[in-house]
Structure 1
Amino acid sequence: MTLHFDNISYRYRPWRTDVLAGFDYELPDGLTILLGPNGAGKSTLLRLGASVTYPRRGQVNVDGISSKTREFRRHVSWMPQNVTAMTALTAREQVSYTGWLKGMSRSEAWAASLDALATVNLADQADHKTKTLSGGQLRRLGVASATIHRSSVLLLDEPTAGMDPTQRRTFRDILTTIADRGVKVLMSTHDVADLAEDATHVTVMSKGQIRYDGPTYDYLRNAPVGTPESRLAEAAYTALTLG
C-alpha cells in the first residue's frame, strides 16, 4: 500500500503562512531517507502522514483510505523522536500493550510482541523492565511497538539522533530488514551518514518544497564534480538545499 499526499496545505496558526502549500508526495518502496534543514517541513510531513494532525486543504491517504479514518491507522505507523518507557512494564508488556491500543486482541498482541521484539534484536530483553534499556534499545523498542500490528508504512522522526555509530548501524540494519519485508519506511534525519548504502531512495525538503526525490545513486550525482567519494552525500545535500 502507498502513502499519498495530495495537494496538501498546512499551517500551525490561522495567521501564519503555510508550512506546506500545494504539496504532493508519494512514498516509494523500500527505505527512504528524508533530509532537510530545520524548518523545512519534515516533521510536519511525518505528523500529517501519521494522522497526528490533518491538512488545512488536500488529503493524506493510503491507497484512497483517508487519514481521518481508523482504518488508515491500521496501515500507517509512526515513531516519534522521543520514545517513552513505561517503567513498570517489561519490554514485551509495553510492545503488547501498544498492539492492544492499535486494535489487536490481548492474545494476538501478546503473541505478536515476541516476534516484533525479535525483529529489532530485543528478544533477549523481553522480560526486562523498560527502565533498564539503553537509549538505543529504547528506540528499537519504539520500532517494535510501531510495527507490531504489521502496518504497510512506517514513519520515523529523527530516530538516530544521539546514537553512536555502532547503534546507528544496528538501527539502520533493522530498518533495512523491515523494508525488505515489504514495509515502506520513511525516516527523517539530519545526518547524511544515515544514507550509507542502505537507503534505496532519498527525498530532500527545503522551505516546504521537495528539492529532490529519487534513487540514492541519482541523489549523489548532485554533488559538484571533483567531490571526494567520502563527501558525496554531504556535498549533494548542500548543493540541493543551498544552491
Structure 2
Amino acid sequence: MSDAPDIRFRSDMTVELVKHSAADTDVLWAARVSTAGEQSLDELEKDPQRSRGLINFLMRDRHGSPFEHNSMTFFISAPLFVFREFHRHRVGWSYNEESGRYRELEPVFYVPDTSRRLVQEGRPGKYRFVEGSEEQHRLAVETMEFSYRRSYEAYQEMLDAGIAREVARATLPVGLYSSMYATCNARSLMHFLGLRTQHELARVPSFPQREIEMVAERMEAHWAGLMPLTHEAFNANGRVAP
C-alpha cells in the first residue's frame, strides 16, 4: 500500500462568501417597478434606509419576488451528511460539489466537540437533545476515529489495486468532509434559515441538526452584513421567508 496522507479530524464548518451581488436596494428597485416602471432605477442611487418600511411591508405581507433579484455564492466545507440535508433545498439554489469520481478524496473527517449534545430523548417530532457524559463523548470520538481510519485504509487499498475512484469511494462514510459552491438569493436563503436554525424570534419552531445549523449561522452572518434591512425585517416578521 502507498503511504496514505495523514488523517485529520475536525468539528468546525467552513463558510466563505466568495462572490455576491446583493444589497437592500435590490429589493427596492425590483418592488417599485410595479408602480414606477423605469423610474424604479432611481432606487440604485438612493439610501435604502428611507424605504425600510417598504421592505418590512413586503416581508410582512409575503410579497416574495423582490427578494430574488440578488445573488450570493458561498464556499462551504462540511461533512457529507450535512450536504445530503443541504441538497434538499432546491428552489433558488445552485450547487457544484467536489467529485469522488475525478479526484482522490482527502482524509478529513468529522468528530463532535464537547459542545455537541449527544443524547436524544423522546420520539420524532417531540424529541430533544441533552448533554452526554464525558464517557459518551470519549466513546463517540474514539469509535468514529477508528472507523474512519479503517474505511480510509480500505479506500487506499482499492486505489492501489487499480480500482476506479468512483468504486473505491463507496467505502467512505458520511462523516467525510466535502466542499462545494452554493449559490442562492435572499429569498431562498431565508427559507433555508427558517428551517435550519433555531431562533427565539422564529414564528414557526424548527429542530435542525446542529451541524447544518452551524453552516446556516455563518451564512446568515454574511447575508446580514450585505442586506441589513432585509435581515432586520426577516427577524421582525417571525423569520418566515416571504
Work out whether the TM-score is over 0.5: no
User: What TM-score comes out, normalization by structure 1 length?
Assistant: 0.28
User: What TM-score comes out, normalization by structure 2 length?
Assistant: 0.28
Larger radius of gyration: 2
Q: Which structure shows the higher strand fraction?
A: 1
Q: Which structure shows the higher helix fraction?
A: 2
